[in-house]
Structures are given as C-alpha cells and as structure tokens.
Amino acid sequence: MKFSTVLSGALIAVAVSTGAMAQEFPNRPVTWVVPFTPGGVTDTGARVVAKAFSETLGVSVVIDNRAGAAGIVGTEFVAQSKPDGYTILYGSSGPMATYSSLYKKLSYDPLKSFSFIHTMSESPLIMVVNADRPYKTVKEFVEYGKKNPGKINLGSSGSGTAPHLSGELFQKEAGIKLTHIPYKGSAPEIVDLLAGTLDVSFDYAVVVKPHIDSGKLRALAVTSTQRMKNLPDVPTLTELGYPGVVLVGWSTIVAAANTPQPVVDKMAKAFGEALKRPEVVAYFEGNGSSVMQPLTGDKLTQFIVSENKKFRELVERSGATAD
C-alpha cells in the first residue's frame, strides 16, 4: 500500500513536471540542426523557414550545420540530444528513410530514435551535366557512357542521399557504369561539377537552377513523373524511356525520442503556421519544390514507416551501397 502510494506520487510528479515544461516551452532559442554543409538545398531552405518559424514559435530558431557521413553525424547528434524540444533536426529522406537499408550498422533507428513533429517540403531532382561536356541529351549521355564505362564521374551530396540513389537507379536502368564520388553536401559537389572534376549530378533546383540559367550547367532530365513548372522544356526520365528512375526527396522536422507530446504539439502548430507564410510558399515554388501535405502525429509516423519500406525496395533495385 505504501509502495503504491509512493509510486502514484512519483507518477503525478512526472506528469506535473512534463506539464510545466510544456507550459513554459519555449523560453529560450531552439537549435535546428541541418546535417549538411551550408549553401546546399537543406541549409538554404531551412534558413528561409527558420525565419518564419522563429516568428510563429516566439523565440529564435538558430541553424546549426553539422555535416558529415552524408547527414549521419547531425542526425545522430539530435537522436542523442536531450528530449526537451530545444534541439530539432532537419530530417530528410536520406537519413530518415534510406540509410536504414543502405548501411549495415546505423547508430540510430529512424523509427524509434525520434519524435516526429511535422512535414516540410518535397522536390524532384534534376540531372545536370557540365556544359562543356559533349553530351547534350540523355540519349547522347547514355551512348557516351556505353562507349566509356566508368569514365563518367557522378557527384552526390553523400552516399545514400537522394542524389546518389537517383544516379544509381539511372545507371542501372540505362545499362551504363558511372563512378560515384560522394561529398559532404551539395555545395562542394557543385563547385567540382562547375570546375569539370565531375561530369554529372542529380540535385535539386535550388542548388543547380542558377547555374543552368547562367549556361554553366546543362539540364538533361528530371526525376519526377511530370515536368517541372520552372523548367518546362526539360523532359522527365520517364518520358525518355526510364520509368524506373522516379524519385522525389522530402523533408520533415523531428526531435529526440520521448520529447513531451505537449511540446511536440506546440512546435507542430507553430511550424505548420510558418509553412503557410507567403514568403515560404513562394520560396519553395520558385525553387522547384513544394510545401508537403501537413502531417503530424500518427499520420506522420505512418508516412515515415511507408517511406522506409519504399526506399528499402529502391535501394535493393538500384544495387546502391554506402561504400
């Protein structure tokens, strides 16, 4: 009887403490970990959203770039952080859905190590080549690749990322062999693509479109099923005869597992309001992306589970590895 009373008292104390934490939250800046280098698609989009999110949440949201191991370093950092809502992660489709199938040993579990907060954006990728290269179409690219196996350098923002997986799927569908060179984010990858060290990359419009517009990169195709509104003359790989190369990257925000639900709910509400801001919508639409359907709670969990299953099948079909 006495033990039961003590246990009940302890549970009540925990509940009161959690409730008090949720009522006080947030009372200091929130750190938003972006697990890739500054200047890439994740960093650029996060900074636009962070400004609006700071206003709707009522405290500063500070971007913290923690690049390394294709996003694993930053993702692991948040998974091991204190579950109080003050450290959140830019959870993209690579670390949150692909890596569990790509890496034999992962330091976190995308389905168990996090509290899912809210969806953010989604975007197809663009197949781009250095404008000085001889191939001007996908057909010419494939013909060149078949005559020069292993001599075309494929750059990506990291092993297992959507750009890497897109390249793996394409080379398998096209029957050619590319040499994959992974980077710690899109920014250094694009520097080498422009310099001619790389020949081809699959990346997002926010990263490559300025260079397409300047004539330094040539867009050959996109990985969506429909042509992009801001690149209407660029065909899809599906219409060019490669229906197996359809891939759209997505992003969410998550916190460490066991973050109090009232805190998660408060952040989800503020983040959802931020995504409705005209400047945020305009940013994504202007860069070939779109704000995702708002998902939170059980629906977001179901989405993450289904995406892990989908990407597991894609990894197996592509033959991609983290090496």
Domain-located, residue 262: yes
Domain-located, residue 83: yes
> Where in the sequence is the domain holding 25, given as residue range(s)?
2-122+249-318
The predicted structure's pLDDT at residue 18: 54
- pLDDT(13) > 50: no
One domain, residues 210 and 266: no
- What is the C-alpha separation between 120 and 90, in angstroms, rounded? 9
Check the CA dihedral 33-34-35-37 and report its sign: negative
The predicted structure's pLDDT at residue 39: 82
First and final CA of the chain: distance in angstroms? 59
- pLDDT(6) > 70: no
Tell me the per-residue pLDDT of 105-161, one tens digit each, with 9 for 90 and over.
899 999 999 999 999 999 999 999 999 999 999 999 999 999 999 999 999 988 878
- What is the C-alpha separation between 99 and 94, in angstroms, rounded? 6
Q: How would residue 179 be classed by pLDDT, with cut points 50, 70 and 90?
A: very high
One domain, residues 75 and 36: yes
For residue 95, cis peptide bond before it (omega within 30 degrees of 0): no
Tell me the per-residue pLDDT of 255-269, one tens digit each, with 9 for 90 and over.
999 999 999 999 999
Domain-located, residue 244: no
Q: Which amino acid is at 25?
A: F
| CATH assignment at residue 82 | 3.40.190.150
Non-local CB neighbours of 162 within 8 Å, separated by 6+ positions: 92, 93, 94, 98, 125, 202, 247, 249
Q: How would residue 2 be classed by pLDDT, with cut points 50, 70 and 90?
A: low
DSSP percent split of the chain into helix, strand, coil, nearest 5:
45, 20, 35
Tell me the per-residue pLDDT of 60-105, one tens digit each, with 9 for 90 and over.
999 999 999 889 999 999 999 999 999 999 999 999 999 999 888 8
151: how many CB neighbours lie within 10 A of its CB?
12
The predicted structure's pLDDT at residue 41: 76
Span 26-31, average pLDDT: 98
Domain-located, residue 291: yes
Domain-located, residue 230: no
The predicted structure's pLDDT at residue 22: 66
Q: How would residue 274 be classed by pLDDT, with cut points 50, 70 and 90?
A: very high
Q: Which amino acid is at 58?
A: G
Tell me the per-residue pLDDT of 197-216, one tens digit each, with 9 for 90 and over.
999 999 999 889 999 999 99
Q: How many domains does the chain have?
A: 2
Non-local CB neighbours of 206 within 8 Å, separated by 6+ positions: 41, 44, 45, 123, 287, 288, 289
Are 294 and 119 within 8 A, CB to CB? Answer: yes
Enter the pTM of the model.
Answer: 0.77
| CATH assignment at residue 198 | 3.40.190.10
One domain, residues 210 and 64: no
Q: How would residue 10 be classed by pLDDT, with cut points 50, 70 and 90?
A: very low
The predicted structure's pLDDT at residue 104: 85
Q: Which of 222, 257, 275 is the last residue of a domain?
A: 222
Span 1-7, average pLDDT: 51
One domain, residues 188 and 296: no
Check the CA dihedral 107-109-113-119 and report its sign: positive
Domain-located, residue 235: no
Domain-located, residue 228: no
- pLDDT(226) > 70: yes
One domain, residues 29 and 46: yes
Look at the chain and count its residues: 323
One domain, residues 111 and 68: yes
- Higher pLDDT: 319 or 31? It is 31
What mean pLDDT is reported for the chain?
Answer: 91
One domain, residues 253 and 118: yes
Q: Which amino acid is at 51?
A: K
Percent share of the chain, pLDDT over 70: 93
Domain-located, residue 31: yes
One domain, residues 257 and 113: yes
